[in-house]
Structure 1
Amino acid sequence: MSLKLKITLGVTVGLMLILFISFTFVYYMFIRVTTKGEADLLKEKARTLLLKDLPNHPEYWRDNSQMEELLIPQEMLRYISPDAKVIYQIYSDENLLRYPVIYVNKDTVIVETASDGIFVFVKMPVFKEGHQIATLEIGRSLRRLDQYANMLISVLLLTSTGTLILALVGGYFYTNVLFRPLHYFASTMQNIEQSGSFRHINLPMKATNDEMMMLGATFNRMIDRLQDMFQKQEQFLADASHELRTPLTIIESYASLLRRWAFHDEKLREEALEAIISESAQLKVLTQNLLSLTDVVRENCEQNVSFDLLPLARQTVASLRITSGRDIEVQLDSDRQELLMAGDSYKIKQLLIILIDNALKYSQQKVVLSISLTEDKWVILKVVDQGIGIAENDIPHLFDRFYRSDKARNRKQGGVGLGLAIALHIVQKHRGTIELQSRLGEGTSAIVKLPVTCQ
């Protein structure tokens, strides 16, 4: 069963329940109000008769002319003794006589419903010298009310039937209009599935704030993200293939050369072995960097462990100072002895190595790592060099995978264009930000802002 049909039937069933409850209430109130009005009229008539002092005037019953003037068609008057026997009675409808004689000691109203109509009985005690001596009963047949009630039922049934038919027809056409955008959405998704191409849903120029337009806009944004991710994936595969092919080609060429000629030429053999070792190391670094980029399982820190950043930074700088033989300085904003933060200390160390290594590659002067803590508990890491700098139009692309600017990055300097992409990934996992500020010939500053805790 289609969703459109389910909604139409659901609305119709709900409307049926509402109509049934409403019409039942209308019918009940109609009968209740009408019978109560008739009972009130009978009470007034009974009080009028009691004012005639019936116990002391039995001639009223013997001379029916005086009582019959108060008797209307389809009515009955009874005078009942304490032993539940009828002393006097007059009537204009025999159907009222079939109901039992009941002696009561208080005002009583009885409503009886039968197949031939509705009957109302009012009973009032008759007193003489402060003692009850009889009961006066007035009964009336409400056949006309029964006719009105049957007519009301017919009108309600006819109205309900017409309303349900209109609800079914109107609901069907309304759901057609309502679900037309959904059919278009489904058709677009099927086309995307079959063709493998990305398509937008055409939305009206004048946007509305209904759920369908929100769904369409969300779908279009999702398609944009998927298309962007797909394009980046294709570019990533192409760049990775290119980067992997270069060292593999060199290794293959030198290995072939080694097999054919280098066994008898020591100089050529040394050159081939050196090239193979160098390209193998490059290939290993590239593979490790690719594995780092694929580590995107968790959005937050893999290890949210508290550690002291200062000794970690000093040890990292000391190691790089020894391996590079360069001057690297650590600057603090105060004489603090420790700076505790939570996160993955291994990733933070990797981040520092990437930023400082980049600064060392493109600068021959001193590199400075400054560490500070803001009042709102953010750690600021700043790596500054006095190197060749980066062109302004290259800065927005430096965090893209395998991107190299012609002036600042090339293969001879040992990079594969993945360092800053990995750095960005580490910073994002720690819920921080990273920014590059640079000018050609004036050096570069890498500014990282990290929260004290990455939760």
Structure 2
Amino acid sequence: MKNLKLEDRISANYALLFLVLILVSNIILVYSLKRQSTKVLVQSADNKMEEINSFLDKVGIFSDKTNVLTLDFNPEIVEGKKIIHVKPFNPGEDNYLYVLEIEQKNESIIPINTIGDTDTDEAAITNEKMLALLKDANLKNNVSNGKIMNIEKNKYFVFKVSRQIKNYKFNIYTLKNVTQENKIYKRLEYLVILFTIIGVVITVIVSKLLSRRILRPINNVIKTAKSISTDDLSKRIEIPKGEDELQNLTLIINEMLDRLETSFENQKKFVSDASHELRTPLAIIKGYAEIIRKRGTTDIDIFVESIDSIISETDNMRNLIQKLLFLAKGDITKINTKFIDIDANEMVHQIHSDTIVSTKTHTFHLEMGEDYKIKGDETLLQQAIRALIENATKYSEPNTNVYIKSFVKDGFGRISIRDEGVGISEEDAKRIFERFYRVDLSRTKATGGTGLGLAIVKRIVELHNGKIEVNSKMNEGTEISIILPISAKPIVINQKEKEKEKTEKKKIIRKMKNLGRKNNG
């Protein structure tokens, strides 16, 4: 049964259960009927024994008084073939038959044998043979709970009444034909077997139909599961109408499929988003590398600046990759961030310089107000600002302007990026910071967007206890501002320290020039 399908196992179990129940119930039924029939036979035999014993009592009393045993054992024949037996040896309502044996000095006679007076197969048996059959049954004397005997082709319920009167022993065998009852029970047993077989067949058919109906939701689960692949997770299982466990199971599986689809989509988009975020530092590194290749070491100042920028961007990119993994998983609160005091204007100025080198499609304008410091992770903040700049260039026409501003307003530092692009509707502006939300899927596909960049920006700003404002007009442009709390105003470096820093820088440049001359020589 283990190798059978669940549908077949359910049908087999139903059939087995029906078979056991019907057999047990029918066995109990037949047994009860037989027991009841035997009870009726025994009760009727008790009554007959009382009647026979009463008759023998009268015979015994008459014999004691007269010292003569007289008994007319010969039946009278009247009205043609009708036989009238001497009471109590008449058939009665139960149609009893009698064989009376009288024993004296090891000799016996049969004055009455009503079996011989019947029109049956047993009537041809001689008195001696009939008596021999009855004695072989070893019936107990004066016990109403007799035995079932086969005599010729019929079955008889037989019991024996025995009495000693004078020197005579009376053995009265009383027989009741139970052939018909036995046939009824046999027929009932056959019907039980027949109906059991029919019932099993019907049970198998009905249970198979029911099991198919019950298992239909499960089969739908199997069918849907087979059709699901990483390329298509949109399939869902049809929900059953009944409010039961199968409906709950289907709902749970569909919810699981929703989560799986979201997870797979997030993974795909994360891969694309990683390239999205790494594109800027790679472009900067490539830009400075191309400058070095074109100019070599002829301009040591540019050479040193380029090398410093490449090293810096490499470190930024390494940190970016590590933190991007956490951001994509939504575990930004678990990132081991390094919060320091950052000169906001200096950071924005560096980003502006890097952007001019790496992006030639737009004109970038920088506007800075008074100096201020913010406390935060510089790598993450650079990532957020660069993401906004890249977004501005992506959704505005080439050769248009992008404005980068850093200033203080209402006690907060504000870094804003404004473009001259297509703008964002008021409805979309409320959702652009949701993870994987794209305003225009077709436009996003053309520009390579993933919908995760702005979500990362929002998370970074939230990590710094800041907020984001969006101000956009359709077909005019969009301005996105990062608003951060100010930690302190930057400390102005005194003149001596500035002169010392310049002297150290000149020494490095001089050494690089000497190294260049040696290489050229």
On whether the aligned pair clears a TM of 0.5, the verdict is: yes
Deviation at residue 53 of structure 1 after TM alignment: 3.7
The runs of 5 or more residues in structure 1 that have no matched partner are 297-315, 327-355, 363-385, 411-416, 424-435, 445-455
| 1:432 equivalent in structure 2 | none
Q: Is the 8 A contact 1:119 1:141 kept in 2?
A: yes
Q: Write the letter of the residue equivalent to 1:68.
A: F
In structure 2, what is the equivalent of residue 264 of structure 1? 298
**Residues 319-339 of structure 1: CA deviation (Å, up to 9, x unaligned):** 96xx5499xxxxxxxxxxxxx
Residues in 2 aligned to 1:257 and 1:190: alpha-carbon distance in whole angstroms: 56
TM-superposition CA deviations, 1:188-211 (whole Å, max 9, x none): 33333496341223447xx42134
Counterpart Cα distance in 2 of 1:388 and 1:48: 125
Map of 1:38 onto structure 2? 41
Question: Which structure 2 residues correspond to residues 433-452 of structure 1 after superposition, within 5 A?
Answer: none
Which runs of 5 or more residues in structure 2 are unaligned?
64-68, 76-85, 117-121, 331-335, 344-374, 382-410, 416-428, 438-449, 470-481, 486-521
Paired position in structure 1 for 2:28? 25
Of 277-286 and 165-174, the range deviating more from structure 2: 165-174
Tell whether the 8 Å contact from 2:162 to 2:170 is kept in structure 1 after alignment.
Answer: yes
Distance 2:287 2:107 in 1: 131
Please, which of 151, 160, 174 is the counterpart of residue 196 of structure 2?
160
Match of 1:149 in 2: 185
Task: Quote how far apart the aligned CAs of 1:395 are.
Answer: 11
Look up the match of 2:253. Answer: 219
Q: Is the 8 A contact 2:220 2:238 kept in 1?
A: no
Contact kept? 1:76, 1:91, Cα under 8 Å: yes
1:116–1:8 distance in 2 versus 1, CA, 3 Å: farther
Checking the alignment, whether the CA contact within 8 Å between 2:230 and 2:264 is kept in structure 1 is no
Give me the whole-angstrom Cα distance separating, in 1, the residues matched to 2:379 and 2:153: 109
* CA distance 1:51–1:203, change in 2 (3 Å): same
1:99-114 aligned at under 5 Å gives the runs 99=134, 100-102=136-138, 104=140, 107=143, 109-112=145-148
1:37 positional shift: 0.8
Which residue does the alignment assign to 1:244?
278
Matches within 5 A, 1:216-365: 216-289=250-323, 323-324=340-341, 357=376
User: Aligned-pair distance for 1:40?
Assistant: 1.0
User: Deviation at 1:219?
Assistant: 2.9
**How far off is 1:33 after superposition?**
1.1
5 Å matches for 1:393-412? Answer: 393=430, 397=434, 409=457
The offset of 1:143, in angstroms, is 0.7
Question: Which of 92, 101, 119 is the matching residue for 2:115?
Answer: 92
Please give the residue correspondences for 1:414-433 in structure 2 after superposition, counting only pairs within 5 Å.
Answer: none
The letter of the residue matching 2:32 is M
Amino acid at match of 2:54: L
In the TM superposition, what is the alpha-carbon distance from 1:79 to its structure 2 partner? 6.5
Could you tell me how far apart the structure 1 residues matched to 2:272 and 2:108 are?
Answer: 112
C-alpha displacement of 1:218:
2.6
Aligned partner of 2:157 in structure 1 is: 120
SS in 2 for 1:138: strand
Selected match of 2:90 from 54, 58, 69: 69
Residues 5 and 172 in structure 1, CA contact (< 8 A), matched pair in contact too = yes
Q: Deviations over 1:46-66 (max 9, x none)?
A: 122212244726645845623
Counterpart residue number, 2:440: none
> TM-score, normalized by length of structure 2?
0.51
Match of 1:34, as an amino acid? S
Q: Secondary structure at the match of 1:102?
A: coil
| Cα offset, 1:145, TM superposition | 0.4
Tell me the alpha carbon deviations over residues 202-231 of structure 1, each in whole angstroms, 9 at most, x when there is no partner.
447xx4213443333233222211221122
Q: Distance in 2 between matches of 1:184 and 1:63?
A: 88
- Contact 1:119–1:139 at 8 Å: present in 2 too? yes
- CA distance in 1 between partners of 2:101 and 2:327 (Å): 105
SS in 2 for 1:66: coil
State how far apart, in whole Å, the 2-side matches of 1:225 and 1:325 are.
Answer: 40
The share of aligned pairs that are identical, in percent, is 18
The answer on whether the counterparts of 2:413 and 2:484 sit within 8 Å (CA) in structure 1 is yes
The alpha-carbon deviation at position 41 of structure 1 amounts to 0.5
Identify if the C-alpha distance between structure 1 residues 45 and 404 changes in structure 2 by more than 3 Å, giving closer, same or farther.
Answer: same
Q: 1:171 aligns with which of 207, 214, 235?
A: 207
Q: Which residue of 2 aligns with 1:11?
A: 14
Further displaced range: 144-153 or 103-112: 103-112
C-alpha distance in 2 between matches for 1:126 and 1:202: 86
How far apart are residue 418 of structure 1 and its match? 6.9
- How far apart in 2 are the matches of 1:230 and 1:199? 14
Alpha-carbon spacing, 1:36–1:51, altered in 2? closer, same or farther (3 Å) = same
1:70 to 1:250, Cα distance in 2 relative to 1, 3 A: same
CA–CA distance in 1 between the matches of 2:377 and 2:231? Answer: 44
1:260–1:11 CA distance, 2 compared to 1 (3 A): same
Contact (CA 8 Å) 2:139, 2:146: kept in 1 or not?
Answer: no
**Structure 2 CA distance for partners of 1:149 and 1:260, relative to 1, 3 Å:** same
* 1: CA distance, partners of 2:483 / 2:324: 31
Q: Distance in 2 between matches of 1:248 and 1:153?
A: 92
Classify 1:23/1:85 alpha carbon distance in 2 versus 1 (closer, same or farther; 3 Å): farther
Superposed CA offset, 1:24-82 (max 9, x none): 2222222121121111111111122212244726645845623422566463456798x
Question: CA 1:244/1:103 → structure 2, altered by over 3 Å: closer, same or farther?
Answer: same
Report the 3-state secondary structure (helix = DSSP H, G, I; strand = E; otherwise coil) of the residue aligned with 1:68: coil
Q: What is the SS of the residue equivalent to 2:176?
A: strand
1:128-183 deviations in Å (ceiling 9; x for gaps): 9xxxx987653423111012112323433443343334334433444444444444
Amino acid at match of 1:75: L
CA distance in 2, matches of 1:164, 1:359: 79
| Deviation, structure 1 residue 266 | 2.0
Which amino acid letter does the alignment assign opposite residue 148 of structure 2? E
> Could you say what the CA RMSD is over the residues aligned between the two structures, in angstroms?
5.1
- The 3 A distance-change label for structure 1 pair 76 and 284 is farther
**How high is the TM-score relative to the length of structure 1?**
0.58
Say whether the 8 Å CA contact 1:77–1:136 is kept in structure 2: yes
Q: Once the two structures are superposed, what CA deviation does each residue of 1:365-412 show, in whole Å capped at 9, x if it has no partner?
A: xxxxxxxxxxxxxxxxxxxxx85699x957984899995659x949xx
